[in-house]
Amino acid sequence: MTAPKSTAEDRRIKRHAVEWNGSILVGADLSEIRCLIRNISTIGVRLAVAPNENIPNQFLLKIPNGAKTFRCRLVWRKHCELGAEFVGTRPRWRQS
């Protein structure tokens, strides 16, 4: 018997669809790569970046909605989208 395919509804941690502009900060000089935050949860984030952007395995993500910066680890990448998990401090927000 094969296991059923996992869907977004099967996730343990609820993801929140958002359309936030953000910044990926990389290197010693914290160079800025603009991104679009597509969804976010307490453990990770899905981002859209320009084609051919060189995103390192670890980076800082600046979320302007609250002016917070979080350390992230790249988990997957497919074309212009990538998934990352938060390392250390994780975002918290109130839903309306």
The Cα-based distances of 93 to 26, 30, 41, 79 in angstroms read: 25, 25, 10, 29
Q: Which helix (H) or strand (E) holds 73?
A: strand 68-78
Residue 95 has a pLDDT of 43
pLDDT of residue 43: 92
> How do residues 11-57 score in pLDDT, each as one tens digit?
577 889 999 999 999 999 999 999 999 999 989 999 999 998 999 99
